[in-house]
Every structure is written in C-alpha cells, then in structure tokens.
Amino acid sequence: MRIVAAVIAAALAISGAGSLRAQTPSAAGTTAAPAPRDVAKERYRAGVKAFQEGRLRDAIDLFLEADKLAPSAALSFNIARAYEEQKDAARSLEWYRDYLRRKPDSPDREEIAKKVAGFEAQLEKRGVQQLTVFSEPAGATVVIDDRPLGVTPWTGELSPGSHVVALRLRGYEDSTRTVTVSAEHASDVSLRLVPGSEKTSAAAPEPGAAAAVSAAAPGAPAAEPSAGGGGVRILTWVTLGAGVGVLGAAGVFEILRRGAENDAEADTTQIGRAEKIDTMESRQTTARVLAGVGGALALTGGVLLVLDLNRSKGAEAPPVAAGCSGRGCGILVNGAF
C-alpha cells in the first residue's frame, strides 16, 4: 500500500490539535480482491467523520478496523492522534511508536520523537514504562512473570526492572527471555520461535523393554516396586510395622489402666475413687481402640506378606481390602490362594 504524503485540511483538526493523515490503496494491488480495500476506505472515511465530530472512541475503532484490512503508517498516526485527544498517554505512546516503526524515514520523525519522549516521561512519573513484544511468527501467547497477558504483537506497561518474558505457540518450542524494562524509555523485544514437534503424552519405552511389555497381559497394571528380598513390597512392611506399633501402644494403655484400677481400689475417699475410675475407663477405651486398629493392621500386613510371597512364586494375588467401622475392624479377601 502506498501512503499519500498529505495532510487533511484544517476542518479535520480538533481544538487546534494536530491533523489526521490520509491514506489510499496502492495502485499496485490490482491483483488483490478489491472488497477489503473498499471496506478499509469506508472505515477510514467514517473514522475521519467521527474524529471531526469529537466521537473519539468511534474514530479509534474505525481506524483500527481499517488498519487490520489495509495496514499503514498513516493509520497508526491517526489512531495515536485520537488517543492523544483522549489524554491516554500509554496508548498514544504505543501508536506513535508504531508509526515510527512503520515509517522510519518520516519527515516529521523529530517532531514525533518529541511526542514519544513526552509520553514516556508521563509513564515514568506513574512508576511504569512501556514494553512491546514481537514474535516470528506472530500470534504467540505472551506470558510475563508467569502471567498470561495477551498475544503478539503485544504492548503493555510494566514496572521498571527485570521481567521474564515467555512466548508459547502451538507447534513451536516455548521461547523465554529475561528483559530489563527501563524507567525512562519504552522498549521492544522480539523473539523468533523455533518449530517443534507436539509434546507426546507418554515417554517412549527404553530399549529392550518391548519384550517385557508384550509378555504382560493386556491392560495389566505394572507391578509395584519391592523392597528387600522375596518380592515383599514396602507397603507390606509399613502395614506390619504400623500394626505392631499400634498394638504396642495398646499394651501401654492397658498397663496404665491397670495402674488406675489399683489406685482406685486403694483410694478410701469417694471423690478420689470416682476420679481414678474415670481415668481407668478412659484408658481402657483407648487401649481397646488401639488394640482393634493394631490388630487389623497386623492382620492386613500378614495377609499382604503371604500375597507377596505367593506373587514372588508366580501365584496370582487375590484382591484384599481392610477397614474399620463402628462395629470393629477387619479385612476382606476376594479370591483364593
């Protein structure tokens, strides 16, 4: 597209502000479909009218639509001017910077650069500065400091200092870079994404593992890792150990119960005897609960031990379940040894 180096008449200015710039379709684009250019021209003219009437938000939307259909530096300038009229320093800075990127040899570059510096100073006073992130190809998700913020090309304001910028795009390897945002000046960062294969959901089997896998029954779960000799699993040892430990605790409370019972028999006062009987009954209840739980754990551990030993000899291990209810604890074995 060719940008006509012309300025719209003073009627397009607002309150003595700067002018808007015109842009026309390129004559060389005769092979392209005419509809998008016609629509872009329509949006541009409607945007100019909205700008004249002071409908700045409408003007911005229309210029943006035109720019998507027929990108041009002139439209970047017009968008920046509309934002400037809205006193939006951040967006004015974004689009004036975009104008200078698109038209680096602009005759009014020095004047626009002064505007850019002024808006940068405004952002600096707010404690932020502008960063623009580009990627090749465009459309990558921008993640800054673990926060998804948009897609490339992306422009936003960040606090000065170091930030981790990551780009993610399907079919490409993730790209990450640490960038330093200046307090005084806006900056750009551009990352090239490297095509990569889709991530697989499961790792490939190690060499030599195919024979072992094919020998297993279809859908059979992998065997749990064992500890020690004889194929006994860690779970079995833990269950047995827990059962023994809880039974030991039950024995301790039983000894304490007997001591409380002896103290109650020796106490000659009614109040003292009642207190010691309460203590005895509490310890008795605790001892019984621990004995039940410990017995269930020990029994389950014993069953698991038998199953592990049978498994190591090639016997099929039946399913086992253990648990406790208000009526007591027990195990359920489904199958046959």
Determine the Cα–Cα distance for residues 47 and 62; give it in Å rounded to an integer.
5
Written as one letter, the residue type at 205 is: P
**Predicted pLDDT at 228:** 43
DSSP state of 219: T
User: Greater confidence, 312 or 57?
Assistant: 57
**Residue 6 half-sphere exposure toward CB, CA atoms < 13 A:** 9
User: Greater confidence, 265 or 43?
Assistant: 43
Domain boundaries, the chain: 1-126, 127-198, 227-333
DSSP state of 226: B
pTM of the model: 0.52
322 forms beta bridges with 331
Residue range 13-49, pLDDT digits in tens: 333 345 676 654 444 445 555 578 889 999 999 999 9
127-198 topology per CATH? Immunoglobulin-like (2.60.40)
User: Greater confidence, 155 or 313?
Assistant: 155
110 forms beta bridges with none
pLDDT interval class at 314 (50, 70, 90):
low
Report the 10 Å Cβ neighbour count for 197: 7
**Predicted pLDDT at 231:** 66
* Sequence-distant (≥ 6) Cβ neighbours of residue 85 within 8 angstroms: 14, 15, 17, 56
Task: Please state the separation of Cα 337 from the chain's center in Å.
Answer: 49
231 backbone dihedrals φ, ψ, rounded to 5°: 70, 20
Q: Is 315 left (phi over 0), alpha (psi -120 to 50) or beta?
A: beta
Mean pLDDT of 152-176: 96
**Predicted pLDDT at 193:** 96
SS3 85: helix
Query: What CATH number matches the domain at 1-126, 1.25.40.10, 2.30.40.10, 3.20.20.80, 3.40.50.300?
Result: 1.25.40.10
DSSP state of 207: T
CB of 63 within 8 A of CB of 43?
yes
Average pLDDT, whole number, for the chain?
Answer: 77
Token output for 142: 């921008």
* Residue 278 scores a pLDDT above 70: yes
Residue range 222-254, pLDDT digits in tens: 444 444 445 678 887 788 788 788 788 878 878
**Residue 74 half-sphere exposure toward CB, CA atoms < 13 A:** 22
Pairing state between β 147-151 and 187-192: unpaired
**Predicted pLDDT at 323:** 52
Residue range 166-224, pLDDT digits in tens: 999 999 999 999 999 999 999 999 999 999 854 433 344 444 433 333 333 333 344 44
pLDDT interval class at 162 (50, 70, 90):
very high
Report the 10 Å Cβ neighbour count for 260: 20
**Predicted pLDDT at 2:** 33
String of DSSP letters for 19-78: PPB-----TTGGGS-HHHHHHHHHHHHHHHHHHHTT-HHHHHHHHHHHHHHS--HHHHHH
Token output for 149: 């913020």
**Predicted pLDDT at 285:** 87
Determine the Cα–Cα distance for residues 68 and 1; give it in Å rounded to an integer.
13
Residue range 47-92, pLDDT digits in tens: 999 999 999 999 999 999 999 999 999 999 999 999 999 999 999 9
* Residue 148 scores a pLDDT above 60: yes
Determine the Cα–Cα distance for residues 75 and 58; give it in Å rounded to an integer.
14
